[in-house]
Amino acid sequence: MMKLLDISKKYGEITHKYPFEPYKVSDNFRGKPAYIFDLCIGCAACGIACPSNAITVQFNDDKSKLVWEFDCGRCIFCGRCDEVCPTGAIKLSEEFELAVKFDKSALIQRGELDTQYCTTCNKPFSAKRLVKYSFECLSKANVSEKRLEEAKNYLCMCPTCKKTATVATFTSGKEMVIE
């Protein structure tokens, strides 16, 4: 008995005061992925990387918006979305207080992005921001003016129309910018 008291004296009080005092998680703790809507370009890289499909990126019913949706209840905090996101719009935070009562929809985060329609066939195929971002990348990547001008056109086309347009320019013998 005395021995036990000695041991407890040696180690002192180790119980965390939480929840009556805030608890500081350790470094590099993987908490809830924090979403910064203003940075998201709707590229869906996170949706593809997410192993448990906690993130989905899909068009809404009338295809006027590209809806990014994250269900915290399904997230396994692996950090793959953080790894692949090109703009840092989703980053694991240190938030661990995630429990909700009665209503599960409190776990959901969503963002609606404007749709980019194909300039040729008017089919929705991507988010406007993604096109803008791609152009921004290209304009900083040392490509010639002429090629940039060309990019402006083909960035706004859906993959099928892009293919047709490329074949059409090739076969009609139009000049192509090849670097």
Which residues form the interface with ligand SF4 (CB under 6 A)?
33, 40-46, 49-50, 52, 54-55, 57, 68, 75-81, 84-85, 87, 89-90
Site of tokens 């407890």? 8
Partner from ligand SF4, other proteins, none binding residue 110, C-beta < 5-8 Å depending on class: other proteins
- What phi and psi values does residue 128 have, to the nearest 5 degrees? -55, -40
Report the DSSP beta bridge partners of residue 175.
none
Cα distances (Å, whole numbers) of residue 109 to 30, 49, 70, 134, 149: 18, 18, 5, 25, 37
Residue 109 within binding range of other proteins, rule CB under 8 A = yes
Per-residue mark of binding to other proteins, 137-156 (x: CB under 8 A):
x--xxx--------------
Residues between 44 and 73 with contacts to other proteins, criterion CB under 8 A: 51-53, 71-73
- What phi and psi values does residue 117 have, to the nearest 5 degrees? -95, 150
When binding is defined by CB under 8 A, the residue of 49, 56, 93, 107 that contacts other proteins is 107
Q: How far is the CB of 73 from ligand SF4 (least distance, A)?
A: 10
CA R_g for the chain: 25
Spatial CA neighbour of 55 closest among 85, 87, 30, 31: 85
List residues near other proteins by CB under 8 A.
14-16, 18-19, 23, 25, 28-29, 35, 37-39, 41, 51-53, 71-77, 79, 82-83, 87, 95-102, 104-114, 128-129, 132-133, 136-137, 140-142
